[in-house]
């Protein structure tokens, strides 16, 4: 099942990203610091439920990056614990 979302937080110190996938719902990934993404970018991925190493696409920039998926369906409260800033 293909999924999509919008990048809402990028933490360069953790190389981690929060992607809003629905109301009060986030996917948390770790990225290669060389993959150029920005807050507000739309991303898509093929394996919507899979954790671990996956390939994500930045739809607006036409680029792809290999990521490590930490978790799906993370609440905003839990997401804010990982990204307090």
- The confidence band for 85, taking pLDDT boundaries of 50, 70 and 90, is confident
The C-alpha atoms of residue 37 and residue 7 are separated, in whole angstroms, by 8
Question: What's CA 45's distance to the chain center, in Å?
Answer: 10
Instruction: Write the pLDDT tens digit of every residue in 23-54.
Output: 999 999 999 999 999 999 999 999 888 999 99
Q: Which of 6, 1, 16 is nearest to 70 (CA)?
A: 16
Give the pTM: 0.95
Closest by alpha carbon to 10, among 43, 44, 54? 43
């Amino acid at each position: 099942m293909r999924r999509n979302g919008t990048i809402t937080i990028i933490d360069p110190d953790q190389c981690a990203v929060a992607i809003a996938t629905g109301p009060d719902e986030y996917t948390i990934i770790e990225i290669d610091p060389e993959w150029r993404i920005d807050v507000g970018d739309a991303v898509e991925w093929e394996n919507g439920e899979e954790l671990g190493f996956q390939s994500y696409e930045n739809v607006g920039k036409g680029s792809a990056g290999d990521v490590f998926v930490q978790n799906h369906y993370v609440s905003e409260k839990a997401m804010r614990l990982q990204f307090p800033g």
